[in-house]
Homo-oligomer: A and B are copies of this chain.
Amino acid sequence: MDSHTPPDPAQLFSEERSADVVAASFARTPDPRLRRILTSLVRHLHGFVKDVELTEREWAAAIEFLTATGQACTSTRQEFILLSDVLGASMLVETINNRAGEGLTESTVEGPFHMVASPPRELGADIAEDGKGTPCLVTGSVAGPDGRPVPAAAVDVWQANDEGFYDVQQPGVQPDLNLRGLFTADGEGRFWFRSIVPRHYPIPQDGPVGRLLEATARHPNRPAHIHFEVSAPGYRTVTTHLFVAGAPFIDSDAVFGVKPSLVREFPEVDDPERAATAGLPNPFRTVNFDVVLRPDTADLEA
């Protein structure tokens, strides 16, 4: 009988060495970026398990939860994105990858409702095709960090109605493409259109993520907002929201999308003449959003 070299304990698993041993198993990963990500993932995952001393029953519950989350996904529903959202991971990734810099418009999550292309509309058009809700005049401008206007910038907007639903959630109830519009800023980078004041709404609650929110006494609501995606040649596109100041849940967005710089008053204007000029009933609400884009130097750097 041969005598064997005993296995090297330093290569074998133990509570103390667990992260080192598992990280070492990824040492031959050909892609250095994948190797780096998995090494860090292992260290943080093991750190978590050790920190809470996860029990076997809790581990089994976690396996069940993750499995149910995967199985709740369909072609029209992404429960893992929702989980990432309510754990703040989506916003963290978004924020890290879109560091705005002083004076630049901050971004926030795109969300799942930009699923249809917004219809091109003339400046001043009313995107509330069914005329329901509190009328609102939205004005704004697009400029670079030096204050120079960005003429003909593309301003893509979409929003929920005053019951908290997007058009795609209420086919047959709302007109197709209701509360969506793709505008082209004028020669001085200005834009304006008519809409309504949006309402807050809940994220889907009928899946594993909904059960998580319920078990943790968290509400599922996103505060009222209008989505903007603003782009122009030579500038980095910004995907963001404009939030309604003082609206419900403004301090507790279920997906952590609110940044202070994106919150605006929507003051009421009682001025029949301005209302007539804007093509809105009097009184009406107003909001202004001056967007500052970052020059895109990626082409130069590449």
Contacts and interface: CB of A to CB of B under 8 A. Distances in A.
A54 B37 contact: yes
B96 A53 contact: yes
A47 B46 CA distance: 13
Contacts of A49: 89, 92-93, 96
Copies in the complex: 2
Given A6-B245, A9-B260, A22-B256, A44 B42 contact: no
Contact of A258 (B7, B30, B81): B7
Contacts of A2: 246
B7 A263 contact: yes
Contact of A80 (B54, B66, B267): B66
B18 A56 contact: no
Interface string A130-155: 00000000000000000000000000
Interface residues of A, number: 90
B44 A45 contact: yes
A49 B97 CA distance: 11
A15 B63 contact: no
A51 B44 contact: yes
A205 to B, nearest CB: 16
Interface string A48-84: 1111111110110001001111110100001011001
A104 interface: no
Nearest to A66: B80
A277 interface: no
Contacts of A50: 92, 96
Given A36-B52, A78-B63, A42 B1 contact: no
A41 interface: yes
A93 B54 contact: yes
A169 interface: no
Contacts of A88: 13, 18-19, 21-22, 25, 42, 46
Contacts of A69: 66, 70
Given A7-B250, A216-B34, A48 B40 contact: yes
Contact of A63 (B29, B84, B253): B84
Nearest to A1: B267
25 contacts: A1-B265, A2-B246, A3-B265, A4-B245, A4-B265, A5-B246, A7-B245, A7-B251, A7-B258, A7-B260, A13-B95, A13-B257, A13-B259, A25-B256, A36-B52, A40-B51, A41-B87, A45-B87, A46-B92, A49-B93, A55-B93, A56-B97, A63-B81, A66-B69, A66-B70
